[in-house]
Structure 1
Amino acid sequence: MNIALLTDQDREVLKSSLLCSAMSDADLASIITRGGVIEYRRSEYLFEQGERAETIYLILEGWAQITRDEVDGSNTLVEAFHKGDCLAEAPALLGKAYPASCQAMTDMRALALDGPKLLDLMQTNRTVLTQSLAALFQKLHGLVDDVEWLKSRTIRERLVRFLLQQSEHINDGQEFMLPFSKSLIAAKIGTSPQQLSRTFTELKEHGVTTRGQKATIRERRVLRAMIRRH
């Protein structure tokens, strides 16, 4: 793929990506798959559990969810990812099967990177190797942090943290879109849709209001104080 075809917004995403930020244009072009930028409709699969992993996906727009089929027939939401996040680095670099499935939660665009070619580049380019390892460590640290929150924090604290993360660049009192349905938000923070609804109701007295899939936080500092541990 000719990377000159990437939009300015796409390039900003690449610059913010720890995995790709240190790559030259030539290095990046060498690992982009023939498909290049791929568009997905909501609910379409990027990959499915058990398929051989060869492709790493960098989300340029939209949201995707990683889910895993369990032996009892249930389906577990592992994590949700958005613009700037990379998916499936480890299995694609190792040539293993995808351990879970990835599905578009919204209409989305992703840049497809060739895992084996990235591995070759890592072996010849020390800077790319360092950045790739740093990206993997950062993701692992984030997942460990999420698990710690699920284990040690209340449902209200977990919801407050989620809302603060989604409104990071939003002004106080400004309405913003929740990235996905409330049932998926409930799964992400480890609760039931019914309990999530009750928790949103509790947060009204702290300045949080919702309207469909939109939310408003009157004062973010109030919510930050609710999750601060001294």
Structure 2
Amino acid sequence: MTCVGQKSEKGEQALNRRERRVCFQRLSYSFKGLIMKLNFKGFFKAAGLCSLAFALTGCITAGLVFNTASPPHAEQWRSDTIKGLSLAEDSNGTKGYVFVGESLDYLLTTGGDEVVKMLNDPAIHGERITVSDNAKFILSSSNKNFSGAITLYYDWNNEEDKALATQYGFICDTRRCTWMLDGLKGSIHQKNKKADYSNVMVFHQPFTVGFYEYKATDGVPRGLVNALLPVTLTLDIVTSPLQFLILCTTRNC
């Protein structure tokens, strides 16, 4: 009997030890899991703060760069088909030759006289004259004045034709003569309903002209940005600890 009781008591003690061990292990695993969660939270928080800190470092420079004015670029305002030249005058009494367009009229204030002289020459075959179809005129800031150039082609038929064309400024090869008429300037006008277009010197092959205006976004001029970049980079480096401190204060880190 005594022997049996002793064995029972020892078994009980062993069982209690196993239960305590299991309990301790479970507690240990729970504690480790909690520590890991805390560590991961701290890690992600620290990573987030570091990312924001690096983002803030350079914010002065970034603000300067993102507000840099873009260089001027040409945008097409409109295009028109030019059908001929006509003598006319504007509302101010300024006389000159007008490019007669389908939508508007374009009074030439500079250039054009030589073309008119050529078109009025009976020895020049007007049906052989063509104008480059990609002519570009640049508009002023008011969109009322323009400047540009056109390229004329003349298909000469014989040596006499060729010689006459060269007198007007054409440069000729074995088949065709080319004349770059630059320095054209003028103003844009609504079509005059009372104008007499009966004496228009018609281009046998009308040509298209594109009118372009230069635009640029507002901002800090690029030259000034380049001059200020070393200063802003220095300020970003010097103020980065303060930026990080402000970040920590707002994020309760």
TM-score scaled to structure 2, two decimals? 0.18
TM-score normalised to structure 1 length? 0.20
Please identify which structure carries the higher strand content: 2
Q: Which has the higher relative contact order, 1 or 2, with Cα contacts under 8 A spaced 6 or more apart?
A: 2
Q: Which has the larger radius of gyration?
A: 2
